[in-house]
Amino acid sequence: MNHAHPGIWEFSDRVAYLQQRIDALPHDGLLTALEAGCGSVSHLRFPDQAHLTGIDISQEQLTRNTMLHEKICADIHAHAFPEARFDLIMCWNVMEHLNDPIQVLRNFVRWLKPGGLIIIGTPNPYSAKGFVTKFTPHFVHVLLYRYVLGKKDAGQPGTEPFPTYLRWSLSPRSLKLFSRDHGLEIDTLTTYRTPWEANIRNPLCRAAWKGYTSLLAVFSLNQLDVHHSETLAVLRKPD
């Protein structure tokens, strides 16, 4: 089933929506969860009887994360967990930084128990923000974070923005095809807007962005999901 959320999602909206999915997830006694590319914090709650594993390539991020029961500093392309280990696998704002996200998705399918959920949050490559992210070099992203969004420590070790690939295989259509080909049920697959554009402080930059999105919509004949810059996928492995 495809649950589309209208309008703009605030951060709290996304957390509440996903929290409902986690709270309803059946499990036998101990809920086993994996945060792939966990970073320094999780914004979701887990039951007391839960074991939370985090894997990240940054030891600095892992050290700061106090919610994990198990910390693994490794590349999720290459790491091997036992098959059917986890009830829940979450990967939020990580897939766009992976050179081969499809390989990692295949790993997730192997690592997930029957009846379990995979939750993915990633930029939509077929959006205005996605195009800019994909086709500009990393140093431009750092400058954007520092001088447009006002994050002075941007680009420092362990701090956003991180190098980005944003493969076309992360498009909603590609995720739908991947789910079909790997026997996953689609609980949720939708794109949505975030209010990040309102955080552009410089008026000239804000005007330039508005002009860019308008031109992109015209030249794509309105075929691009210009403003819906994010994708949310909740995929279920059948029992």
The pLDDT, as a whole number, for residue 6 is 45
The pLDDT, as a whole number, for residue 79 is 94
Say how many C-beta atoms besides its own lie within 10 A of residue 175's C-beta.
23
Residue 19 lies in a domain: yes
- What angle in degrees, to the nearest 10, is found between the helix axes of 128-135 and 203-219? 100
Residue 204 lies in a domain: no
Q: How many CA atoms lie within 13 Å of 17's alpha carbon, on the beta-carbon side?
A: 20
Instruction: State which of 37-41, 71-75, 140-144 shows the largest mean pLDDT.
Output: 71-75
pTM score, whole prediction: 0.87
Residue 135 lies in a domain: no
The pLDDT, as a whole number, for residue 5 is 46
Residue 157 lies in a domain: no
Residue 142 lies in a domain: no
Confidence of residue 8 (pLDDT cuts 50, 70, 90): low
- pLDDT tens track for 154-193: 888 777 888 899 999 999 999 999 999 999 999 999 988 8
**Given the structure tokens 């914090």, which residue do they identify?**
41
Q: What is the mean pLDDT of residues 61-86?
A: 94
Say how many C-beta atoms besides its own lie within 10 A of residue 179's C-beta.
20
* CATH number of domain containing 58: 3.40.50.150
Sheet-wide strand order for 230-236: 70-73, 50-56, 31-36, 86-92, 112-123, 230-236, 185-192
Confidence of residue 20 (pLDDT cuts 50, 70, 90): confident
- pLDDT tens track for 183-213: 999 999 998 888 777 677 778 888 888 888 8
Number of domains into which the chain is organized: 1
The pLDDT, as a whole number, for residue 28 is 78
Residue 47: pLDDT above 90?
no
Say how many C-beta atoms besides its own lie within 10 A of residue 126's C-beta.
23
DSSP 131-184: HHHHHS-HHHHHHHHHHTS--TTTTSTT-SPPP----GGGSHHHHHHHHHHTT-
- pLDDT tens track for 95-147: 999 999 999 999 999 999 999 999 999 999 998 888 888 999 998 888 888 88
Determine contact, residues 4/190, Cβ cutoff 8 Å.
yes
Residue 80 lies in a domain: yes
Residue 221 lies in a domain: no
Full residue range of the structural domain in which residue 62 is found: 11-124+164-196+228-236
